[in-house]
Amino acid sequence: MNGANPSWRRAILALGFLCALITAGLSGRSVAFAQAVSLSQRIDELSTPEFGWLRADRMDDSQALRRLSLDLRNTAPTAEEMDLFLASAPEGRWEQWVDRFLADPMHQERMVDWYDKTLMQRRAFQNVDRPTWLAYLRQTVDGKVPLDETLRGVVRSTWWNRQERAQQRFYLDRGGDPHAIARDIGRIFFGKDMQCAQCHDHPQIDDYLQIDYHGLLAFVSPSSLVEGKTTDEKGADRSCRCMRSVHLGMLRLSRSLTKVFPSVRPRVYRVAWRVLSLI
């Protein structure tokens, strides 16, 4: 060992240091798993006494089932369901009815409706017809595609791929307006409505900055709405509108979404802009 090349010594030391880091990381992860708490517990911990005014009184059982049904199925429970719920034993009853409503076909339609209104806000069907759009949403819901994967599919959809025509509706029916697209990506995907930061920093919220808005806008502004031609299922030519070059900026943004979901980090736009500008 005394006659070993210095570069080999450095390599051995580096390997030992790396092994130590991996060991420490794994042990730390084990501790983190051991200390993991449920989502409901984390929410309860945030409900500190200073926010007591946000707490509602405990509702009765019939009202609780009604709210659960409206949330998961967009309809009130039937009289038979209400009687069955009230007659069952309280132990484990709530979990059983949550699973029951989630397995109801009306829950699938509820999710399709939620995706439709969340992504498109009741916009008219201008470039993608209603059956194509709803078929895509039903396929997403029936396939139990995770939310982050669904949004990444919308973000990275390409104008030349006819199989991704439904996802392109997010851009097409906003008229290719980069500001509308940037605002809705921020509001829907990241949970931050940056419209006020388009012209200036927000006067009351410190981390709503103009640089964040324009950093997000930079990803979509190179795109343009153009008239193109395609073929239908029968091979006939037809004209269509396409978002050209949108995939270039969107592909970069999709990489940041992989890191951001499921939790949104503070000032995510600025971080994504600076990191992805190096790609």
The model's pLDDT over 142-166, given as tens digits with 9 standing for 90+, comes to: 999 988 888 888 888 877 777 888 9
pLDDT grade, residue 235 (50/70/90)? low
At 86 the pLDDT is 93
The whole-angstrom separation of Cα 29 and Cα 26 is: 5
The whole-angstrom separation of Cα 134 and Cα 233 is: 18
The model's pLDDT over 26-39, given as tens digits with 9 standing for 90+, comes to: 444 444 444 577 77
- The whole-model pTM stands at 0.64
Token look-up 């890191």 returns 259
What average pLDDT does the chain have?
75
pLDDT grade, residue 279 (50/70/90)? very low
The whole-angstrom separation of Cα 167 and Cα 156 is: 9
Q: Is the pLDDT of residue 8 over 70?
A: no
At 131 the pLDDT is 93
At 45 the pLDDT is 74
